Structure 1
Amino acid sequence: MSQLQQRTVFITGGSRGIGRAIALACAREGANVVIAAKSDSPHPKLPGTIHTVAEEIRNAGGQALPLVLDVRDENLVRQRIDEAANYFGGIDALVNNAGAIKLTGVENLKASRYDVMHQVNARAVFACSQAALPWLRESGAGHILSLSPPLNLNPRWFAQYGPYTTTKYAMTMLSMGMAEEFRRYGISVNCLWPRTLISTSAIEFEAGGPQLMAQGRKPEIMADAAVSILSRPTGELSGQALIDEDVLRQDGVENFDHYRYAAGDKPLLPDLFLD
């Protein structure tokens, strides 16, 4: 029996891309999945809403709860987490997947855009984890997983887009802190980051365009790694900034070709923050 059977996983930004892939992968393992995101109605460019993902999960025989959530609103965060916990009888895992990106330096970045990145990336890890904590303590097998990178202080990762970098590293540093702080509650806290570019609409429209898509992998590689981490027994793995490919290699995966976004032998691009 899967370790995620009947467990409840709360995923922020769960309506598209990596969040959607994690939601579907957890559901296949028998988890109850809460899809919490802003996308209540269809976007002109981007496919997927919280409702379409919930429908995909239910059509596959899983349990899903779509909730409209802006992670910048800590009162709403608390309300939605409690709502989800009451609906499913608790929360066993929180996946901090919601993200905001703008690869611009300090000189040309609007302060309002920096605020959004800080709120959606770093601050949301704080707000969502704090709100979920009472339920994760009750779980007895709680997990927090944030999609943020290992800390790499090579100046090249700060030179062109220091504002974005600092908000993503803040997610990782908060997670390292929570791993120690929450250890006494039996809660595991980790980060997960992709070895290569992941081909999603965020890449297509915000960070490189369609030509980069062919040099990335499908979101499913992150989803499979996330399921592996969330399935580990409490306390076995905590305080780590993990890479998707490394997690899957530990599980015995050797061939990653089926994760490629496009067929062919174009070299895959390493993701940000990895030398």
Structure 2
Amino acid sequence: MSVPVLETVRRGLGDLLFERVAGPEGPRRRDRIHGTPGPRWHAEDSPVRTVHGDASMFVGGIRALLLQSLHPAAMAGVAQHSGYQGDPWGRLQRTSHFLAVTTFGTAADAESMVAAVRRIHETVTGTTDDGTPYAAGDPHLLRWVHVAEIDSFLAAYQRFGAGRLAPAEADAYVAGAARVAEELGATDVPRSTAELADCLAAYRPELRATAAARETARFLLLRPPLPLPARLPYGVLAASAVSLLPGWARRELRLPRLPVTEATLVTGSGRLATGTIRWAMAPRR
């Protein structure tokens, strides 16, 4: 394949992926996020930017959703307020915009974005199936959502990323990512990988798969809202995400474990898929 044709393919695939993840407002938002001068929450060479700017986030995002669903209060909030099955791409685009602004945008824009999300959280309240009340602004629940996310993003980067963070860099990632969680209202946020592991373990007694959590897993893994040609590559990303889940989480969600297949076929296919995304979405000269 000639260089011009290969470049056309790359641009076409990159545009398609970007439009799906960022939505119709994506180009305008991208220009504002990266083009507006001013101080940022994270330095250009920070591990937070390294991880959040990598294609492995496609895997990490799926794992995060599966893991987060195992907290009954968090799952009830999503099921009752987000409309994720009716508008999954809209939810993805809103989430990616939030991550982009708080990772790469100016401090002023990041603060405005966090304030907007906090206002939304004030309206998200209800009760779980067993009658337990919840509120999205609860610091304990916010911390769970945060630790499930950063554990997933970090795990995905370490296996499928363009590089691998050294232990000190991984600690710096956890510490840097804590900024957003604290701004949203979370408390006692972990600041190292050791604290992250301890925090996840402390939540374990609260975690279980509700009917809504298992329905979310089926939706994400078996019924994604994608055309048939996109199902195979998405399936590779989804299988890669499942391969990163802890064993107890898989058992709760009734997801099988195939050690040999995952160590070879899934890992290799996942690296190929994220490498292709990375190639397609690389900055253009």
TM interval, shorter chain, is: under 0.3
Higher relative contact order (CA 8 A, sep 6+): 2
For normalisation by structure 2, the TM-score amounts to 0.26
- The structure carrying a bigger helix percent of its residues is 2
For normalisation by structure 1, the TM-score amounts to 0.27
**Which has the greater radius of gyration?**
2
